[in-house]
Amino acid sequence: MSFPTPSFPSRLPDVGTTIFTVMSALATRTGAVNLGQGFPDFDCDPALPEQVCQAMKRGLNQYPPMAGVPALRQAVAKKIGTLYGHAYDAESEVTVTAGATQAILTAVLCCVHPGDEVIVLEPCYDSYAPNIELAGGRVVRVPLTPGSFRPDFEAIGAAIGPRTRAIIVNSPHNPTGTVWTREEMQALADLLAPTDVLLISDEVYEHMVFDGRPHVSASAIPALAARSFVVSSFGKTFHVTGWKVGTVAAPAALTAEFRKVHQFNVFTVNTPVQHALAAYLADPQPYLGLAGFYQAKRDRFREGLAGTRLRLLACEGTYFQTVDYSAVSSLGEAAFCEWLTTEIGVAAIPISAFYADGREQRLARLCFAKKDETLNLALVRLTTL
The predicted-structure confidence for 290-342, as pLDDT tens digits, reads as follows: 999 999 999 999 999 999 999 999 999 999 999 999 999 999 999 999 999 99
| Element at 278 (helix H, strand E) | helix 271-280
pLDDT at 15: 85
Q: Is residue 3 part of a domain?
A: no
pLDDT at 17: 77
pLDDT at 220: 98
Contact 60, 72 (CB under 8 A): no
Residue 49 CB neighbour total at 10 angstroms: 15
Closest by CA to 225, choosing from 61, 68, 88, is: 88
Residue 349 CB neighbour total at 10 angstroms: 28
Closest by CA to 315, choosing from 300, 326, 325, is: 300
Compute the average pLDDT of residues 265-270.
Answer: 96
Q: What percentage of residues in the chain have a pLDDT greater than 70? A: 100
Give the domain extent around 240: 47-283
| Domain shared by 263 and 304, yes or no | no
Final residue belonging to a domain, choices 283, 310, 333 = 283
Final residue belonging to a domain, choices 283, 310, 326 = 283
Contact 322, 298 (CB under 8 A): no
User: Looking at the predicted structure, is the pLDDT value of residue 81 above 80?
Assistant: yes
pLDDT band at residue 178 under the 50/70/90 scheme = very high
Q: What percentage of residues in the chain have a pLDDT greater than 90? A: 95
| Domain shared by 343 and 227, yes or no | no
| Domain shared by 193 and 271, yes or no | yes
Q: d(Cα 66, Cα 334) in Å, to the nearest integer?
A: 42
Q: Is residue 124 part of a domain?
A: yes
Contact 193, 223 (CB under 8 A): yes
Radius of gyration of the chain (CA): 21
| Domain shared by 268 and 310, yes or no | no
Helices then strands (H, E): number in the chain?
16, 13
Q: Is residue 2 part of a domain?
A: no
| Domain shared by 293 and 274, yes or no | no
| Domain shared by 364 and 276, yes or no | no
pLDDT band at residue 211 under the 50/70/90 scheme = very high
pLDDT at 378: 97
pLDDT at 23: 86
| Domain shared by 248 and 341, yes or no | no
CATH of residue 121 = 3.40.640.10
| Domain shared by 244 and 303, yes or no | no
pLDDT at 124: 97
User: Looking at the predicted structure, is the pLDDT value of residue 213 above 80?
Assistant: yes
Q: Is residue 377 part of a domain?
A: yes
188 exposed, middle or buried (CB, 10 Å; 0-12, 13-18, 19+)?
A: buried
Compute the average pLDDT of residues 339-353.
Answer: 96
Give the chain's length. 385
Compute the average pLDDT of residues 150-166.
Answer: 98
pLDDT band at residue 171 under the 50/70/90 scheme = very high
Contact 125, 144 (CB under 8 A): no
| Element at 232 (helix H, strand E) | strand 228-233
Q: d(Cα 104, Cα 231) in Å, to the nearest integer?
A: 7
Compute the mean pLDDT over every residue in the chain, rounded to the nearest whole number: 96
pLDDT band at residue 37 under the 50/70/90 scheme = confident
Compute the average pLDDT of residues 355-362.
Answer: 95
pLDDT at 292: 98
Sheet order of strands, 117-122 included: 94-97, 246-249, 228-233, 198-202, 164-170, 117-122, 138-143
Q: Specify the amino acid at residue 94.
A: V
Residue 166's φ and ψ, nearest 5 degrees, are -160, 165
Residue 298 CB neighbour total at 10 angstroms: 24
CATH of residue 365 = 3.90.1150.10
User: Looking at the predicted structure, is the pLDDT value of residue 1 above 90?
Assistant: no
| Domain shared by 129 and 198, yes or no | yes
| Domain shared by 270 and 121, yes or no | yes
Min mean pLDDT across 37-46, 101-110, 170-179, 267-276 is at: 37-46
Number of domains in the chain: 2
pLDDT band at residue 14 under the 50/70/90 scheme = confident
Compute the average pLDDT of residues 54-69.
Answer: 97
| Domain shared by 87 and 188, yes or no | yes
pLDDT at 120: 98
pLDDT at 49: 97
Q: d(Cα 208, Cα 101) in Å, to the nearest integer?
A: 19
Q: Is residue 12 part of a domain?
A: no
Final residue belonging to a domain, choices 228, 255, 283 = 283
The CA-atom distances, in angstroms, between 146 and each of 63, 72, 124, 310, 360 are: 47, 40, 13, 18, 11
Compute the average pLDDT of residues 364-381.
Answer: 97
| Domain shared by 220 and 338, yes or no | no
Q: Is residue 10 part of a domain?
A: no
Q: Is residue 6 part of a domain?
A: no
Closest by CA to 327, choosing from 343, 309, 306, is: 309
- Taking 3-state DSSP, the helix, strand and coil percentages for the chain, each rounded to the nearest 5, stand at 45, 15, 40
Q: d(Cα 129, Cα 106) in Å, to the nearest integer?
A: 13
| Element at 233 (helix H, strand E) | strand 228-233
Q: Is residue 62 part of a domain?
A: yes
Closest by CA to 90, choosing from 78, 82, 98, is: 78
Give 321's strand partners: 366
pLDDT band at residue 38 under the 50/70/90 scheme = confident
